[in-house]
Amino acid sequence: MTSTPPPPGWYPDQQNPKQVRWWDGQVWTANTRSANDAEVIELDIERQHDPGRIQQQAAKGTQGRAGAHQGGGTLFTEPVLVVNQRAKLIEMANEFGVFDQNGNRLGGVVQVGQSTLKKAIRLLTNYDQFLTHKFEVRDANHSTVLKVTRPAKVFKSRFLVTRADDSPIGEIVQENMIGKIRFSFLVNGQKVGGIQAENWRAWNFSIKDHTETEVARVTKTWGGFIKAAFTTADNYVVEIHRPLQDPLASMVVATALTIDTALKQDDR
């Protein structure tokens, strides 16, 4: 009698106890991550993997509008991205799940490079907001497709967006600190678009190309009373009006993460 293989998930790597390896349900993949990336204290009550709940969130975030174009099933081709931050009672590293408007998982974002010292600083002080933050954007197969780095800052945030091999794509640069927050998308020093908050509370955002034409919108959605009351986790819906090409496509995918790190996490 043969035993049933374990379900897909991250499991301890037999060759390196300091990291975990992704099991796809059939075979071990080449995708690994530091064992310290996985936080164990979470609030599963937010049900972020419930397709029905994600569909409701997408409908609310887009005001019931269907995607403007047919999706291709990837982070870069879907007209609607639902970005939900994993809720944790004690948050040492940010993690986000990314889904399409039907509740299918497209990928995720994980904060990497959090040393024991950085985690202690985050837990005990507010100084963490001034330190360097590094994130990896991963597809549904857990392969890294983008990297986003926010260097250490004093007042305004700047984000470096690169491919998985560290080749540069562009920068997302905060323009102001007072009033409606704005960011610019810069590629080789040239502006190719940007983000504009629609009110001073920075709940909703318009994403525009270099001609100031809106190409996407970001709407912050409510994650539920328990999630809002006991965690700093946020949920966003990114509505993309038409298919985009790089570098703008990669900038838009990185946008919800940029907004959360620059505005929401720094408010801690």
pLDDT at 213: 95
Question: Are 213 and 193 contacting, i.e. CB atoms less than 8 angstroms apart?
Answer: no
Position 127: which residue type? Y
Task: Compare 7 and 137 and report the one with higher pLDDT.
Answer: 137
Question: Judging by DSSP bridges, how do beta strands 182-187 and 190-197 pair with one another?
Answer: antiparallel
Model confidence at 65, pLDDT cuts 50, 70, 90, reads confident
Sorted by where each starts, the structural domains of the chain and their CATH numbers stand as: 1-38 (no CATH), 47-267 (2.40.160.200)
Mean pLDDT, all residues of the chain: 76
Report how far residue 240's alpha carbon sits from residue 252's, in angstroms, rounded to the nearest whole number: 8
Question: Are 238 and 218 contacting, i.e. CB atoms less than 8 angstroms apart?
Answer: yes
Per-residue pLDDT of 103-129, as tens digits, reads: 898 988 887 775 555 554 445 445 456
Report how far residue 168's alpha carbon sits from residue 162's, in angstroms, rounded to the nearest whole number: 4
Task: Compare 206 and 19 and report the one with higher pLDDT.
Answer: 206
The token duo for 259 is 């907004």
Most confident of the ranges 50-64, 79-93, 167-181: 167-181
Question: Are 241 and 67 contacting, i.e. CB atoms less than 8 angstroms apart?
Answer: no
Closest CA to 80 of 53, 56, 108, 61: 61
Report how far residue 203's alpha carbon sits from residue 90's, in angstroms, rounded to the nearest whole number: 24
Q: Residues of the chain with pLDDT > 90: what percent?
A: 23
The token duo for 91 is 């948050």
The token duo for 87 is 């809720």
- Whether 251 shows a pLDDT value over 80: the answer reads yes
Model confidence at 147, pLDDT cuts 50, 70, 90, reads very high
pLDDT at 222: 58
Question: Are 163 and 169 contacting, i.e. CB atoms less than 8 angstroms apart?
Answer: yes
**Can you tell me the mean pLDDT for 51-64?**
84
Task: Compare 158 and 4 and report the one with higher pLDDT.
Answer: 158
Report how far residue 33's alpha carbon sits from residue 9's, in angstroms, rounded to the nearest whole number: 12
pLDDT at 221: 79
Task: Compare 26 and 149 and report the one with higher pLDDT.
Answer: 149
In the DSSP assignment, the letter for residue 28 is E
Question: Are 100 and 80 contacting, i.e. CB atoms less than 8 angstroms apart?
Answer: yes
The C-alpha angle with vertex 162 and arms to 205 and 147, in degrees rounded to 5, equals: 75
* Prediction pTM value: 0.73
Residue 47 CA, distance from chain mean position = 17
Per-residue pLDDT of 184-228, as tens digits, reads: 999 999 999 999 988 766 678 899 999 999 999 998 875 543 333
Residue 148 burial (CB count, 10 A): 23
Torsion of CA 110, 149, 241, 101, to 10 degrees: 0
Q: Edge-to-edge, what's the strand order for the sheet holding 9-12? A: 9-12, 19-23, 28-34
